[in-house]
Homo-oligomer: A and B are copies of this chain.
């Protein structure tokens, strides 16, 4: 019943039960590796020769410079692929250290096996491409937010991009949005309250409405 995580990318299999998946007799060659809490899964600069699918546990990725200053930390919980978007890159190296935060299990699949599975299963191909594409879109949006100065400007642009018509959903908690913007949680809350106070938006429990579209657009 294990290794359902192999089908993480397949949008046909993701809706099926483990029993149904087994009955499809669709397997991907792989090996499984275990890591103790605190152990390195990969060092910055290591080649990404496999798809690393975190099947159990939790890891963190970090860039550490010499005096022990950590530049960036991300936590990733199973099931989730690691460095998947870099697998096919012509410069396929881990850009970060990856360290187990709990006892973890990682499924390793060779690039070759991934390619064969893509040619065999259009759903897997589409799922893998969608994952990579979504991640690239996320990076590209984050880059735009970063390039804007001031929290209000960032919020305005973010809401403008997310809105469908005049309605929007924040899409994540204030805490994780603050991390995304790399600003204080309290400053972010203040910026949103300010925009509500100024009659630019309505906002309640993660959802809202653009009231004054021109004022919002004039902010970025």
Binding site for B on A (CB under 8 A): 63, 65-67, 69, 71-72, 85-92, 95, 115, 118-119, 122, 125-126, 129-130, 132-137, 139-144, 146-148, 161, 182, 214, 217-218, 220
Check A72 against B126 for contact (C-beta < 8 Å).
Answer: no
Distance between Cα atoms of A115 and B123 in the complex (Å): 10
Distance between Cα atoms of A35 and B44 in the complex (Å): 45
Known: A72-B144, A118-B118, A141-B95. A136 touches B86 (CB 8 A): yes
Query: Which residues of B sit under 8 angstroms from A144, Cβ to Cβ?
Result: 63, 71-72, 95
How many monomers of this protein are in the complex? 2
A14 to chain B, nearest CB (A): 13
Check B134 against A125 for contact (C-beta < 8 Å).
Answer: no
Q: Which residue in B119, B135, B147 is a CB contact (below 8 Å) of A119?
A: B119
* Dominant secondary structure at the A interface: helix
Q: Which residue in B87, B91, B122, B182 is a CB contact (below 8 Å) of A147?
A: B182
Known: A140-B139, A143-B146. A88 touches B119 (CB 8 A): no
A201 to chain B, nearest CB (A): 16
Check A133 against B132 for contact (C-beta < 8 Å).
Answer: yes
Known: A125-B115, A130-B89, A182-B147. A71 touches B220 (CB 8 A): yes
Query: Which residues of B sit under 8 angstroms from A67, Cβ to Cβ?
Result: 217-218
Distance between Cα atoms of A146 and B140 in the complex (Å): 12
Query: Which residues of B sit under 8 angstroms from A140, Cβ to Cβ?
Result: 85, 95, 139
Check A85 against B143 for contact (C-beta < 8 Å).
Answer: no
Q: Which B residue's beta carbon lies closest to that of A85?
A: B136
Known: A71-B144, A143-B146, A217-B66. A115 touches B119 (CB 8 A): no
Distance between Cα atoms of A126 and B90 in the complex (Å): 10
A77 to chain B, nearest CB (A): 20
Q: Which B residue's beta carbon lies closest to that of A67?
A: B218
Query: Which residues of B sit under 8 angstroms from A69, Cβ to Cβ?
Result: 220
Q: Which B residue's beta carbon lies closest to that of A127?
A: B88
Q: Which residue in B92, B95, B161, B218 is a CB contact (below 8 Å) of A133?
A: B92
Query: Which residues of B sit under 8 angstroms from A148, Cβ to Cβ?
Result: 71
Check B146 against A91 for contact (C-beta < 8 Å).
Answer: no
